[in-house]
Structure 1
Amino acid sequence: MENTNFVMIFLNWLMSFDRKALILAASAIGAGFAMIAGIGPGIGQGYAAGKGAEATSINPKTSKQAIMVMLIGAGIAETSGILALVVALILLFGNPLVGQSGSVLVIAASAIAAGISMIAGVGPGIGQGYAAGKGTESTGKRPKYQSTILRTMLLGQAVAQTTGIYALIVALVLMFSNPLLKLL
């Protein structure tokens, strides 16, 4: 019973704020959450760079091929971070939620949830970076198979990005065509 009272007190306090201010505050929180997704690409790109350095140290003659595969792979590993940045920038600069009518609580929660959904980008960033690292390592060992290795790496990275794309779709739906508001 005491927990219910606390929740009601908190919700009443929250609803005492200006509608627009509450939505903007929730959007700022959502933008911050979205940027947590940058952890994945950071780890993945670091792994790919490490494998590039390793491949170069083992076989300096293949460094150009290994570096090219590493740079392409690391660039692709950044995509989930870029998707999260897009969501954060929409929440901060082109926020469609501010003008929506309906429950301020649902709209504010949707702003936060849009950001939280982008945390799913951590996995693709790490996975794509791992693929880039292994592609770089393999190219360093067998440079004559660079094109085959690169094709295989890119295909694997494309598949690994799917959960990041799903997260982006959920975030965009919450921001632009929120079905929850229609249920009220």
Structure 2
Amino acid sequence: MEEISNLVVFLLEWLDQFDAKTLVSAAAVLAAGFAMIAGIGPGVGQGYAAGKGAEAVGKNQKNTSNITLVMLLGAAVAETSGIFSLVVALILLYANPLVGMEGVAIVIAASVLGAGLSMIAGIGPGIGQGYAAGKGAERVGQRPKYQSVIVRTMLLGQAVGQTTGIYALVVALILLFANPLIG
């Protein structure tokens, strides 16, 4: 336990050599990188959707346009958590309201890092929504006459699946613009 206390003291003394703006700017750069980790989810999800779409077209060439439409629609929805993460990363880099703010630098820097790290939650919705899109494309290939019901169900499931990504976005925006821990 003493080693941890000594490490914390060392880190705080080391960080104290930097002015607050430099510390917060450095945290923003790291946070933007962390935020973009969420792009893994949409990448996996969209790849799955595309694969299932291609598989469905291979089995039912007559329904290619409908299968492709469902796959693209579902894949576009799966990208939303990646878009949320990109928006937060761009705010962190170009419009960060915490850079230059007065207060305890370590709390401000931690808030910036927390905003970026919170966006990692977007991995789940991206994968889940892509899975739904892939299954939707697959089923439209098998049962084309049920396309409207399949798409409606897919989109409803994707909307519910997006809630975690929305929660992450809300937390990131609170940390950046309405942080209760910063005066």
Compare 13-22 and 116-125 and name the one that shifted more.
13-22
Q: For 1:158, give the aligned amino acid.
A: A
CA distance in 1, matches of 2:85, 2:21: 23
Name the residue aligned to 2:107: 106
Deviation sequence 1:90-121 (CA, Å, 0-9, x none) = 00000101132211100000111100000000
Question: Who is 1:38 aligned against?
Answer: 39
Residues 1:119 and 2:84 aligned together: no
The DSSP-based 3-state class of the residue aligned with 2:100 is: coil
Q: Secondary structure at the match of 1:96?
A: coil
Alignment match, 1:145: 146
| Unaligned segments of structure 2, at least 5 residues | none
The letter of the residue matching 2:118 is: S
Residue aligning to 1:26: 27
Q: Please say if 1:95 is aligned against 2:96.
A: yes
How far off its partner does 1:9 sit? 1.1
State the aligned residue count.
182
Question: In the aligned structure 2, how far is the partner of 1:145 from the partner of 1:6?
Answer: 62
C-alpha distance in 2, partners of 1:6/1:43? 38
Aligned-pair CA distance for 1:163 = 0.5
Aligned to 2:180: 179
Which contiguous aligned blocks of 4+ residues in structure 1 show a shift greater than 3 angstroms? none
Equivalent residue for 1:81? 82
* Code of the aligned partner of 1:93: Y
The separation in 2 between residues aligned to 1:105 and 1:77, in whole angstroms, is 35
Identity %: 67
Q: CA deviation at 1:2?
A: 2.9
| Alignment-mate amino acid for residue 178 of structure 1 | N
Query: Match for residue 163 of structure 2?
Result: 162
Residue 5 of structure 1, CA deviation: 1.5
